[in-house]
Amino acid sequence: MAKKGKKKSMVDPTRLSVKDPESGLLQVVVETPAGSRNKFSFDPEQEVFHIKSVLPAGMVFPYEFGFVPRTKAEDGDPIDVLILMDEPAYPGVVVKVRLIGVIEGEQREGKKTVRNDRLVAVSGVSHEYSNIHRFKDLPEKWLEEIEKFFVNYAGQQGKDFRFLGTKGAGEAMDLVQKARKNGKR
């Protein structure tokens, strides 16, 4: 039983360690699986995943989309991660990943502009993406297609997304560390 006699619905994934203690890999909680039109989001108040929105017909999430627990990015949410892996997972599944970089971007809603970077990582048990260690290891059109997805996805939410560039795994880990400090406040 939780505080005040309330039953807990599940373990709160936002309380997990940032890194797996055994492997040292980053832990990412999947919110939305690849191929889904549904955008899932974790509600820490109720400790459940819920459907936040639905993408239009023909538009799906190209890869797993999740967050690093115990972090808070500049947009106020846990830091986002796009996970390259062989098969779709489910909301709430924890995937141990290695970072390959960060897609830097800013998002504008009305007059407010905020950074909304997305980390990119590879599942530690992936076969298909095991040789991907940096953006240059991906096909040339990959980044262009992902950029278009984020622009269209933000547009569906009434926001404008502007791609600023990419950086490597070291810079991505620096963002995790910064977001971890912000998450402790």
Asked whether residue 2 carries a pLDDT value surpassing 60, the answer given is: no
Q: C-alpha dihedral over 148, 151, 152, 153, to 10 degrees?
A: 120
Contact in structure between 81 and 25 (CB atoms under 8 Å):
no
pLDDT of 1 reads 44
H-only helix segments in 68-168: 140-156
Domain locations in the chain?
A: 3-178
Q: Is the pLDDT of residue 45 over 60?
A: yes
Q: How far is residue 80's CA from residue 99's CA, in Å, rounded to a whole number?
A: 12
Given a cut of 60, is residue 9 above it in pLDDT?
Answer: no
- In this prediction the pTM is 0.91
Q: For the segment 104-159, what is each residue's pLDDT rounded down to a tens digit?
A: 999 998 899 999 999 999 999 999 999 999 999 999 899 999 999 999 999 998 99
CA distance 84 to 102: 13
CATH fold label, 3-178: Inorganic Pyrophosphatase (3.90.80)
